[in-house]
Structure 1
Amino acid sequence: MSPDPDPRHVIDGDVYVSPRHLAGSTAIGDPALAPLLDLGWDLRHDDLGNAYVNAPDRRIQLGYLPEGEDDGLWRINAYKDLFGPPTWGVCFNDSTPTEFVRAFTTALATAYEQGPAAYLARSAAGTDEHDPFVAITPLLKRGWNLDQPRRDVFAVRSPDRLACLEFITGDLDLQTELTSRTARWQLWAGTSIDRAAWYATASTDTPIALLTAVTECVSDPAPLPRWREDTASYVKGMAQLTPILPPAPTPLDVQRAAASRRPALITAPSVPRWSTTSRPALPGPRR
């Protein structure tokens, strides 16, 4: 019997998808919830199977909504006033690669530990925390290109032109940003914005550091693992699929395998042995 596989070598998938913005969702929410739950945030469920995560101060709320009213699977809102409208809101739809959502929640967990100034306060104009160029810098460094697809819209497109980050200038209504795809930021992949394979939106005043964490992850050149049978709905020949090969065995793996095949030593049963010092039995008395 072969030894148990090293958990470091177990990859959740049988193909790598490249570029990663064509990978699609894993349909598992736990990895993206983990950074917040690790901080002790409150997790609750409703009768439909939706999950709700609240920060200890209730100023950040996350909804994981597989049974929601639309395709907005992930909704994250932050509040200065607990009884007022959100200060900012972010939405990832149900086809967004889970790794991108995790990048956001990981950065959000870090910001929450730093205090309200990191996740609520509106930064002064002219600072890096408020400069949208900071969020697109990771994309530009990795070969994405500036574009202006529509009036009052600036965009950055991936080299294959199958992913795009759009930024709308001018005034926007916050309620519209929170309830539609007309938001300050929109990130999507596909052949066009109207036929996006997945999308994410972020309203005005979403912290730039959180958006930058997502653009860093989206533009990472490393492929993402997926199960081949789950790729048909979003790849459609646009992505490169590479089989995931088992890793080369380490010296320790070889040693364990050899030990598992080595036959056990057979030990002879314990029996009494004659000794040169043994005396023959004495004859019994005659009758």
Structure 2
Amino acid sequence: MSVQQPNDNYLYQEVLVSPMYLAGTGGTADPSFAPVAHWPHHYLDDGPCQLVITSPDHRIRIGWYGDDFDLWKITAAEEASSSTRWTATFNHSMPPEVVVGLTTALASDYAEADVYDGNGRFLANPSMNWADAVRPLIDAGWTHGGGAASGTVEIVAPDGQAGVLIDNRRYRFDEEAVTLWAGPHGWGTRAEAIFTAGTPSHLIAATAATMVDPAPVVRERHHIHREVAHLVSLTPVTPSTLQAPRAPTPLDVRRTAVTQAVQRAARFPRTAADLRVMAARSRTSTSAQNPSGSPAPALAARPSASPSTPRRSR
């Protein structure tokens, strides 16, 4: 007796996924770029990094590695040519809605620096109190996990499917110190965000805050890994599921921001081919310069050629 396979209509049905931290990337990394859509974009032909978004002064860099093992690598430095002060790396299984927490905080920090002292909180020294970096998790009821090695602290979600590991034994700014994780062990199931020791605590906290947002995210059924499917709640998207008749709460505001990010991301290129074409155009067209002479944002008016960002070829 043959086993009936799900049809395409079922597999491509949009569903609300909860908890969000187990939802995966959904085939696109674009929402993570929405808060910095106005920053310069650089499309690269060669190497694993296909797109680099930089602050106007190039002190903040957001690299997207669509075909490699690290999907996002975000760094900051005191000067455009100076050594990196800190690095945050998000792997291929981390939902872009989590990355939005960091890119939003960076955009805010940079805007404030431009108005005030020109330096910016994104270069602040991390707090001496490790709990400051994960305060949103503690406030949401995440508790100490057992089995952490000496000199480390682990905080785990109530469902045991997400957590953070803090390594207090790290002394150099470029050593890995904080790891946010979600999902069971495995290349296709474990989401990770790794921060080096020099990362400002408020930026880690901004990222962690998205992990405890109970608002579900939209995915297609086939985006959910089969080893994660039994750990999440899936609700088919219908007009009734998307209604919010009550007054907006802070969580609703955050959900709206992510939704708007996804809508703006629909204009972004989503395949490696798109990115390479954009790079070629930028070299052959003089229209990439705005009247002031600085590069114009290239992603703003490009239609998507494919429904998803490239998956890893390795």
Give the alignment partner of residue 119 of structure 1, picking from 94, 119, 122: 122
Name 1:279's counterpart in structure 2. Answer: none
User: Which deviations, in whole Å up to 9, do the C-alpha atoms of 1:231-260 show, x marking residues without a partner?
Assistant: 13452411121222223899xxxxxxxxxx
Counterpart residue type for residue 123 of structure 2: L
**TM superposition shift of 1:172:** 3.9
| Change beyond 3 A, Cα 1:233–1:64 | farther
- Once the two structures are superposed, residues 139-176 of structure 1 have per-residue CA deviations (whole angstroms, 9 ceiling, x without a partner) of 1222211125222110110111111111101234445x
Unaligned runs of 5+ in 2: 1-11, 114-118, 244-314
Distance 1:111-1:140 versus aligned 2 partners, 3 A rule? same
CA deviation after TM superposition for structure 1 residue 83, in Å: 3.4
* 2:202 aligned counterpart, secondary structure: helix
Does structure 2 retain, via aligned residues, the 8 Å contact 1:78–1:89? yes
- Aligned equivalent of 2:170: 171
Aligned position for 1:202: 195
Matches within 5 A, 1:106-185: 106-115=104-113, 116-122=119-125, 130-148=128-146, 149-175=148-174, 177=175, 183-185=176-178
Distance of aligned partners of 1:62 and 1:13 in 2 relative to their CA distance in 1, 3 Å threshold: farther
Once residues 228 and 165 of structure 2 are traced to their aligned partners in structure 1, the CA distance between those partners, rounded to angstroms, is 22
How many residues of Structure 1 are paired with residues of Structure 2 in the alignment?
A: 224
CA distance in 1, matches of 2:136, 2:22: 18
CA distance in 1, matches of 2:173, 2:138: 28
The match for 1:235 is 228
TM-score (norm 1): 0.71
Equivalence for 2:50: 50
The alignment status of 1:35 with 2:35, answered yes or no, reads: yes
Kept in 2: contact 1:99–1:217 (CA 8 A) = yes
- The corresponding residue for 1:187 is 180
RMSD value, Cα: 2.6
Deviations 1:196-239 (A, max 9, x none): 62111001121122111111110111222211121134524111
CA contact (8 A) 1:63 1:75 kept: yes
Report the secondary structure of 1:184's partner residue: strand
The answer to whether the 8 A contact 1:23-1:234 is kept is: no
Pair 1:56–1:249, CA change in 2 (3 A)? closer
Identity of aligned residues (%): 29
Counterpart of 2:133 in 1: which secondary structure?
A: helix
Return closer, same or farther for 1:46/1:248 CA change in 2, 3 Å cut-off: closer
Q: Any idea what the Cα deviations from partners look like across 1:71-93, whole Å, max 9, x if unmatched?
A: 11100111124433210010001
Q: Supply the distance in 2 between the matched residues of 1:103 and 1:94 (Cα, whole angstroms).
A: 17
1:172–1:184 Cα contact (<8 Å) kept: no
- Compare CA radii of gyration and give the structure with the larger one: 1
Q: What stretches of structure 1 of length at least 5 have no aligned partner?
A: 1-11, 124-128, 178-182, 251-287
Deviation at 1:186, TM superposition (A): 0.3
The change in CA–CA distance for 1:44 and 1:234 in structure 2 (over 3 A counts) is: farther
CA–CA separation in structure 2 for the residues paired with 1:172 and 1:217: 27
Q: CA deviation at 1:95?
A: 1.2
Cα distance in 2 between the residues matched to 1:34 and 1:225: 17
Partner residue in 2 for 1:67: 67
Partner Cα distance (2:165, 2:189) in 1? 13
Q: Distance in 2 between matches of 1:145 and 1:27?
A: 31
